[in-house]
Amino acid sequence: MFHLDNKIALVTGGGSGIGRAVALLFAKKGAVVCILDMDEQGGTSVANEIQAQNGQSIFLKCNVAKQKEVDQAVDTIVSKYRAIDILVNNAGIAHIGTAETTREEDFDRLLDVNVKGVYNCLHAVLPIMKVKGGVILNLASAASWVGLSERFAYTATKAAVVGMTLSVAKDYLSQNIRCNSVSPGRVHTPFVDGYLKKTYPGKEQEMFEKLSKTQPVGRMGKPEEVAGLILYLCSDEASFITGSDYPIDGGFIKLNS
């Protein structure tokens, strides 16, 4: 079950965190993994790790907020592999602030990456997928369900991702293209470590434990756990699922109220 043999998978933000976990798992399950990331060192490292384990992977440096860069990356993938069967829109950035304290430039930056970046990838990949069908998986967030304190711009962009997921699922039913999203709660990634180091110097461990306990299960999620759900939704075993958003949040959404 859950094999992706000979599938061509494009994973944005595949150089670290959840994207890295997805890339490694997809490769293990037989997919050819094409990694798009701004982080050349991280993206190259993941591609090399896959190749060292006898998997197939390439890395393409790409800013998903730039349509020309996305189009060029997709053209490179299609010229090499003739198809894109799976698209995982994982690349995203976060921001702390309310509607009052969020600066215009920060709001625009989140829109560019988290919303326009997803659109750019959809715009480039959907015409390719229409030939024989495919699967799209977008990364939303628990924030899109409940809202998070001082995450105004982030919450807005992730709610937009859920809306785009529903729209694509409906528009491309007849082309055999499925589109779903997942909404993680707090997941322990390098971003979390960097945020704690920058925001709470000297109190990283204390704040890590405090944030971990906001999930009813008492800990943060692991990137590999989110990757497992994404694998299922992108596999043939999930062929009856489209237009849905799946929380994976340690009970945060439903059990904290």
Q: DSSP letter string over 153-220?
A: HHHHHHHHHHHHHHHHHHHTGGGTEEEEEEEE--B--HHHHHHHHHHSTT-HHHHHHHHHTTSTTSS-
Q: Given 81, 119, 154, 200, which residue is catalytic? A: 154
Tell me, yes or no, whether 38 and 91 share the same domain.
yes
Question: The tokens of 114 are what?
Answer: 């988290």
- Tell me which residue range forms the domain holding 137: 8-185+223-249
Q: Does 87 have pLDDT greater than 90?
A: yes
Tell me, yes or no, whether 232 and 215 share the same domain.
no
In a domain, 1, yes or no: no
Closest CA to 11 of 35, 45, 46: 35
d(CA 223, CA 227) in angstroms, rounded, equals 6
Q: Tell me the pLDDT tens digit for each residue of 199-214.
A: 899 999 999 999 999 8
Predicted local distance difference test score (pLDDT) of residue 191: 84
d(CA 11, CA 55) in angstroms, rounded, equals 15
Q: What percent of the chain stands above pLDDT 90?
A: 94
Tell me, yes or no, whether 191 and 180 share the same domain.
no
In a domain, 37, yes or no: yes
Average pLDDT of span 103-127: 98
Tell me, yes or no, whether 129 and 196 share the same domain.
no
Tell me, yes or no, whether 211 and 148 share the same domain.
no
Q: Tell me the pLDDT tens digit for each residue of 94-110.
A: 999 999 999 999 999 99
pLDDT classification of 147: cutoffs 50, 70, 90: confident
Count the alpha carbons within 13 Å of 238 in the hemisphere toward its beta carbon: 25
In a domain, 88, yes or no: yes
In a domain, 160, yes or no: yes
Q: How many domains does the chain have?
A: 2
Tell me, yes or no, whether 200 and 149 share the same domain.
no
81 belongs to the catalytic site: no
Tell me, yes or no, whether 203 and 142 share the same domain.
no
Closest CA to 29 of 12, 61, 4: 4
Q: Cβ atoms within 10 A of the Cβ of 1, count? A: 8
100 near 57, Cβ under 8 Å?
no
Q: Tell me the pLDDT tens digit for each residue of 6-45.
A: 999 999 999 999 999 999 999 999 999 999 999 999 999 9
